[in-house]
Amino acid sequence: MRYFIIAACLLLTGSLVGQKIKRETVIYEDTLSMDLFVPMTKNANKPVLIYVHGGGFSGGKRDEPQHIEFCERYAAEGWVTATISYHLTMKGQSFSCDQPVQNKINTLLVSAQNVNQSVAYLLERSEELGIDRNKIVLAGSSAGAEAVLHAVYWQKTREGILPEGFRYGGMISMAGALLDERWINEDTAVPSAFFHGTCDNLVPYSNAPHHYCEPNETGFMMLYGSYPLAMKLKSLDKPYYLLTDCGGGHEWASKPIEEKYLKHLNLFLEWVIRREGSVQGHSVVSEGERACNYGVEFSFCKSE
């Protein structure tokens, strides 16, 4: 695979630990770019954290200030980080109930393939960048979370892209969902963290149609949200972490990278690096104020 550096390298000073970071903007596949942040240390086993932005597969940008800040923060802590672009196949179109379901599925496929292509690019440069191939973590927001979930768990998305036997070190989904929970099994499960509000009206927290479309609408597509996916991992006795906001909405697509919530990400990422002990946890907050009835009641959300 060929790659091209399309912007000059910059030296940044890590604000948290003071180490220098090299920043590159590169094309990792056809016209798709990534901003790459590499700590300038001699450590040859750096973990990797890749962020995938949201935007309904029709908008959003990899290099928005909050995404760059997120990558700089963790690069300053020793991670090789990247924020990537992917094909916005729904640009100028609706991704709601009027969009034929096969187009939705194809969009999920293409975006997940793009995510895996970005990882293949980094694997090709693994020796140069000094990365640990066993500790590559994907993180995504909304549409980006759906891209990340399908990149990890839909095996079709990695065919001809990633080496056979490759396994992700971890996955972080911020208000995302998966087409089929059966794709998570004993052989495919990876440590996964989920952030979601129970009243998300776009991407279901539980098992429900995308955008809550009606069965007779052309865009009707069932999805498995954060709760059933976390419970599937729990049933398999695999590492997972779930943060639920009772009454929360789709704002959890962006909340986890805010300063207030980074402690949750930090705990999960620290475990990914050290792999000491077991991690299975569910934190419940009640920050959301929405009242919703999507056919599922959760006992942990009921007031005492």
Averaged confidence pLDDT in the chain: 91
Cβ atoms 243, 283 nearer than 8 A: yes
pLDDT of residue 188: 97
Domain boundaries, the chain: 4-301
Cβ atoms 204, 174 nearer than 8 A: no
pLDDT of residue 11 exceeding 70, the answer is no
- Give me the half-sphere count of Cα atoms (radius 13 Å) on the Cβ side of residue 46: 29
- Among the listed ranges 7-11, 158-162, 187-191, 202-206, which one has the minimum average pLDDT value? 7-11
Handedness of CA 102, 168, 71, 241 (dihedral sign): positive
Q: Hey, what CATH class is 4-301 in?
A: alpha beta
End-to-end CA distance of the chain, in Å?
A: 57
Length of the chain: 304
pLDDT of residue 252 exceeding 50, the answer is yes
| pLDDT digits 0-9 by tens, 39-86 | 988 778 999 999 999 999 999 999 999 999 999 999 999 999 999 999
Cβ atoms 226, 194 nearer than 8 A: yes
pLDDT of residue 274: 84
pTM: 0.92
| pLDDT digits 0-9 by tens, 95-110 | 999 999 999 999 999 9
Spell out the residues 6+ positions from residue 149 whose beta carbon is closer than 8 angstroms to its own: 140, 171, 173, 176, 177, 178, 229
